[in-house]
Amino acid sequence: MTPLGELARLIRSKNAGPFELTFDIMFEDSATYERVKQSGMVNREAVASRYGLPADKVKFFWCDPACAIKASIPRPYIQGDLLDSDGHGGQQYAPLMDIQIP
Amino acid sequence: MTSSASEEVRVLAPNGVLGSGFLEESFEKGLAQKPHFIGCDAGSTDPGPSHLGSGEPAFPREAVRRDLRLMLLGARRLKIPLIIGSTGTAGGDPHLAWGYEILKEIAVAENLQFKVALIHSEQGKAYLKKRLAEGRIKPLDPAPEFNEKVIERSSHIVGMMGAEPFQRALQAGADVILAGRASDTAIFASFAELHGIPSGIAWHAAKILECGAAAVVNRKSPDCMFAWLRKDHFVVEPPNPEYHCTPQSVASHSLYENSDPYKLVECSGTLDLTNSRYEALNDRSVRVTGSTFAPAARYTVKLEGAELAGYQSIVIGSVRDPFIIRQIDDWTTRLIERLHARVKQVYGDRMKPDQYVLNIRIYGKNGTMGPLEPVKEIRSHELCLLIEVTAPSQEIASSIAGIARHQGLHLPIPEWSGLITALACPYNPAHLDRGAVYRFNVNHIVEPDDAYEMFPTEYFAIDGATQRKLPQ
């Protein structure tokens, strides 16, 4: 088993507009990307459980030409709102890093 | 436009945000490839609601002036249009006026002659109320409640323009377009569509270009991107010889800051990248084919708005006592209760709990992720507390923050008897006044009668220090 954070070349989070957060999980090569894709460990449900959301609140995509996975969720607070803690949404990806991939 | 341009549209994108910088050498290399226009995005919601709310741009004036000067000189030298969208970060009227002032200063300093189009995107309250009453303002998902009261409370509401207002200004002969809030892609797609490039090619190339060199393999600092748009494909290549694009780097860029990497919704339709193919032309440039654009049944314009949330003061303090750390949730809850009680003592009925907001962030626990934080157990030997007060005036926020400092300093815990001092405050005075704070308050679309009604355009003939308003 290897944590996703060690297999990806980049895992990042970012605002997708003020109302959504989006995660990009990017791989150096298609072999690593395919290993993760085939493992079945990264999917809509896995992302939902990491962020305590129902699966239907998660948008999830495989992006083969980019060797990348994308997922988007509603922001817990609107960007810049009084209780928002991350104006650019840039530090919300850490819970994805330790998903274990066979 | 020459006939060859109909076969091919060449575009120079100096960088991803006006004011973020680019290398002059890269820009000159780009100009040497004879672009038909220069385009640059100057804004975003990413810097947050305070810019739209207050009218203040996010990038420094001098940094914007440096970039804009080089772009304007380059465009005038080649006699090609310069198209700027989302002027001054948020594209409201104060932002557009700010950008126009800088443009005029450059024209004076460099003695330049050109025709400029100012495309406004600030929306009048009467117009929005009319469209709302007609049921022609509709929520996206997710969206806050939007009604007449929200419109009334807003500092600024802008519409995000599509390609058409740019195209109208280009057809009117504008040499320079300074636009209010615009779809980043519309800046680039407008010219290309106008010159016969199919929409799928035009909008996908625009998506790459609007971020400058961001689609290269490893961008070290902001720089230029160049594209050749043709009838059935486009090619992108960074002018800076140290950078290169690969099919993967270009494909990856469609992920950036979008919630859906395959479908990008614009005013006039949806760009679909499901069947896009990316091929290396050589070791630096990539050819893209297969992107399509589905026209929308109804033209829509997205709104962005911001309103004053109040005035804020904060106290920063840290905790090292393990007894306090192990009961930090209880301690902060008790502090909030104490603060409300003390505010009531001081202000009586003049300041009710629903008129101000108290919030305590706990760094070392869940300060970064808040409710999304899956780790519940605190292992830190110290915590940083950020105590925030948001109130109807700065004076009140500042006063309540002063109360918070004192109450927090001495809030007891059962383990110690006698007066404790619970917070380490690094600053003196211990509280910081943050001024006005704003919130985004709309995520809706308008159904206008046409693509232009929300975006009135003014034209001026600039000749060095003189400006002459031209008829519409």
Are residues A82 and B45, on separate chains, in Cβ contact within 8 Å?
A: no
Query: Are B263 and B398 in the same domain?
Result: no
Q: Chain B contacts of A71, Cβ < 8 Å?
A: none
Q: Chain A contacts of B437, Cβ < 8 Å?
A: 82
Query: Are B190 and B276 in the same domain?
Result: yes
Query: Are B256 and B323 in the same domain?
Result: no
Are residues B142 and A22, on separate chains, in Cβ contact within 8 Å?
A: no
Query: Are B289 and B331 in the same domain?
Result: no
CA torsion A21→A27→A28→A32, rounded to 10°? 180
Q: Chain A contacts of B47, Cβ < 8 Å?
A: 87
- Of the candidates B38, B8, B89, the one whose C-alpha atom is nearest the C-alpha of residue B212 is B38
Q: Tens of pLDDT along A23-79?
A: 999 999 999 999 999 999 999 999 999 999 999 999 999 999 999 999 999 999 999
Q: Tens of pLDDT along B42-69?
A: 999 999 999 999 999 999 999 999 999 9
B254 domain-assigned = yes
What's the number of domains chain B is made of? 2
CA distance B257 to chain A (A): 5
Interface test with B, best of A70, A86, A98 (most B CBs within 10 A): A70
| pLDDT at B182 > cutoff 50 | yes
| pLDDT at B37 > cutoff 80 | yes
Q: Please give the C-alpha separations between residue A18 and each of A78, B256, B258, B306, B382, in angstroms, as whole numbers.
A: 6, 14, 11, 11, 32
Beta strands in chain A (DSSP E): 2-3, 10-15, 20-26, 59-63, 68-74, 100-101
Query: Are B343 and B392 in the same domain?
Result: yes
Report, at the CATH architecture level, how domain A2-76 is classified.
2-Layer Sandwich (3.30)
How many CB atoms neighbour CB A91 within 10 A? 12
| pLDDT at B2 > cutoff 70 | no
Query: Are B282 and B353 in the same domain?
Result: no
Q: Tens of pLDDT along B343-376?
A: 999 999 999 999 999 999 999 999 999 999 999 9
B131 domain-assigned = no
| pLDDT at B340 > cutoff 50 | yes
B142 domain-assigned = no
Note if the bond before B261 is cis, omega within 30 degrees: no
Of B278, B370, B440, the CB nearest to A18: B440
Dihedral sign, Cα of residue B155, residue B159, residue B160, residue B163: negative
Are residues B48 and A79, on separate chains, in Cβ contact within 8 Å?
A: yes
Residue type present at position B302: K
Query: Are B231 and B366 in the same domain?
Result: no
B114 domain-assigned = yes
B294 domain-assigned = yes
Q: Provide the CB-side half-sphere exposure for B76 (13 A, CA).
A: 20
B147 domain-assigned = no
For chain A, positions 5-64, list CB contacts with chain B under 8 A: 14-20, 22, 24, 26, 50-52, 59, 61, 63
Query: Are B383 and B273 in the same domain?
Result: no
B335 domain-assigned = yes
- Of the candidates B418, B246, B407, B265, the one whose C-alpha atom is nearest the C-alpha of residue B337 is B407
B115 domain-assigned = yes
Domain around B369: 308-441
**Judging by DSSP bridges, how do beta strands A59-63 and A68-74 pair with one another?**
antiparallel
**CATH number, domain containing residue B424:** 3.30.70
Share of chain B above pLDDT 70, in %: 99
Q: Tens of pLDDT along B402-453?
A: 999 999 999 999 999 999 999 999 999 999 999 999 999 999 999 999 999 9
Task: Give the global pTM.
Answer: 0.95
Q: Tell me, what's the pLDDT at B282?
A: 96
Q: How many CB pairs under 8 A join A and B?
A: 121
- Of the candidates B35, B32, B38, the one whose C-alpha atom is nearest the C-alpha of residue B18 is B38
